[in-house]
Amino acid sequence: MGTTQLTLPNMLAGVLVWAILLTLFFLYVYRPLVAAMDKRRETIARLVAEAEENRRLAEEVRAQNERVIGEARDEARKILSLAEKAGHEQGKKIVAGAQAEISRKYKAALDDIERAKEKAAEELRGQVADLVVAATAKLLQRSLDAGSQRELIQEAIREAGRLQ
């Protein structure tokens, strides 16, 4: 059986083999592994930075959208308020116009009534004057005793009743 003896050349050969293996491992395994890990770390850092930037931009967009929505709501409230005021003003104008029309028609009706009263009074005065003239003419034609006076008054009353 072969026994290996620990000799200096064997030890140097062993150390040399380990140094070569370690150098090869360092060159072909460790360096590419570290480079891949560094590249992976940079990619992750870049993606995290991009995600942070995207989150910041999304927050800005959300804030801007909220501001625009708030402004739109304020504008809508203003428009509704103006429309409500315009509606109230228009309603007031319509009511005022209707009241003015009613007042005008009421005054015209009162004027018509007053004219009708004046016309009726004038007609009545004319009829009374005619009756008085007729009664006076009859009185002058007849002698005035108590019976004829009564008859004359009765006749004037009947004629007045017919005229109405």
What does the pLDDT look like over 57-76, one tens digit per residue? 999 999 999 999 999 999 99
Domain ranges, residue 61: 14-163
Is 149 a member of any domain?
yes
Is 1 a member of any domain?
no
Is 103 a member of any domain?
yes
Q: Is pLDDT at 38 greater than 60 in this prediction? A: yes
Rounded-to-integer distance, Cα 41 and Cα 71, Å: 44
Rounded-to-integer distance, Cα 78 and Cα 70, Å: 12
Q: Is pLDDT at 15 greater than 60 in this prediction? A: yes
* Conformational region of residue 4, where left means phi above 0, alpha means psi within -120 to 50, and beta covers everything else: beta
Quote the pLDDT of residue 1. Answer: 47
Quote the pLDDT of residue 137. Answer: 73
Per the structure, how many domains does the chain have? Answer: 1
Residue from 92, 105, 162 nearest 134 by CA: 162
Rounded-to-integer distance, Cα 16 and Cα 24, Å: 12
Quote the pLDDT of residue 77. Answer: 94
Is 129 a member of any domain?
yes
Q: Is pLDDT at 139 greater than 70 in this prediction? A: no
Quote the pLDDT of residue 6. Answer: 80
| Residue 119 CB burial class (10 angstroms; 0-12, 13-18, ≥19) | exposed
CA angle, corner 127, sides to 110 and 143, nearest 5? 155
| Res. 118 pLDDT band, cuts 50 70 90 | confident
Q: Which of 82-96, 103-117, 150-164 has the lowest mean pLDDT?
A: 150-164
Quote the pLDDT of residue 4. Answer: 65
Q: Is pLDDT at 134 greater than 80 in this prediction? A: no
Q: Is pLDDT at 18 greater than 90 in this prediction? A: yes
